[in-house]
């Protein structure tokens, strides 16, 4: 499916057109998660029904322990997203580990739009916040 991600706070388009493949489709191969490499090419992504993170404590779920979730290339959001100023959200040694909640905000209105992982021990990935973003399909 093709579409664009939009901020629910201000309605602004956050990405250009992105082609998203469902990981429920048996013909779609699960992406490789290689440290410091994008999970997908710019302009493409995956819709996953397995969370990127899991907690071993049900009373304290991981930040990215929700489904469904989109796995996207962070470069598709660089022009419209900015790193949060919230303390503790940008932890990591070489980049952001994405383990502490949304770390990217809408440049226009400041709404938390998702979580970027860019640390040396993580793949390069952006996961939009489902409460604050909307995927709007475009005509094929």
Beta-sheet pairing, 18-22 with 104-106 = unpaired
Kindly report the three-state secondary structure assignment for every residue of the chain: CEEEEEECCCCCECCCCEEEEECCCCCCCCCCCCCCCECCCCCEEEEECCCCCCCCCCCCCCCCCCCCEEEECHHHHCCCEEECCCCCCCCCCCCCCCCCCCCEEECCCCCEEEEEECCCCCCEEEEECCCCEEEEECCC
Class of domain 1-140: mainly beta
Query: What pLDDT does residue 58 have?
Result: 86
Query: What pLDDT does residue 140 have?
Result: 65
Phi/psi of residue 47, nearest 5 degrees: -105, 120
Peptide bond preceding 135 in cis form (omega within 30 of 0): no
Phi/psi of residue 75, nearest 5 degrees: -60, -25
pTM, two decimal places: 0.95
Sign of CA dihedral 67, 109, 73, 42: positive
Query: What pLDDT does residue 139 have?
Result: 80
pLDDT band at 132 (very low <50, low <70, confident <90, very high): very high
- Is-contact 113 102, C-beta < 8 A? yes
Give dist(CA 45, CA 133) in Å, integer.
Answer: 15
pLDDT band at 13 (very low <50, low <70, confident <90, very high): very high
Mean local confidence (pLDDT), 66-74? 97
Q: Domain ranges for the chain, please list them.
A: 1-140
């Amino acid at each position: 499916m093709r579409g664009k991600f939009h901020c629910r706070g201000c309605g602004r388009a956050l990405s250009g057109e992105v082609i998203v493949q469902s990981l429920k489709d048996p013909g779609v191969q699960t992406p490789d998660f290689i440290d410091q490499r994008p999970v997908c090419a710019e302009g493409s992504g995956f819709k996953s029904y397995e969370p990127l993170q899991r907690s071993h404590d049900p009373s304290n779920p991981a930040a990215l322990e929700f489904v469904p979730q989109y796995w996207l290339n962070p470069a598709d959001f660089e022009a419209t997203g900015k790193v949060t100023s919230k303390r503790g959200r940008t932890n990591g040694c070489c980049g952001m580990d994405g383990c502490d909640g949304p770390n990217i905000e809408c440049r226009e209105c400041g709404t938390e739009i998702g979580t970027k992982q860019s640390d040396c021990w993580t793949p390069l990935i952006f996961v939009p916040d489902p409460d604050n973003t909307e995927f709007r399909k475009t005509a094929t």
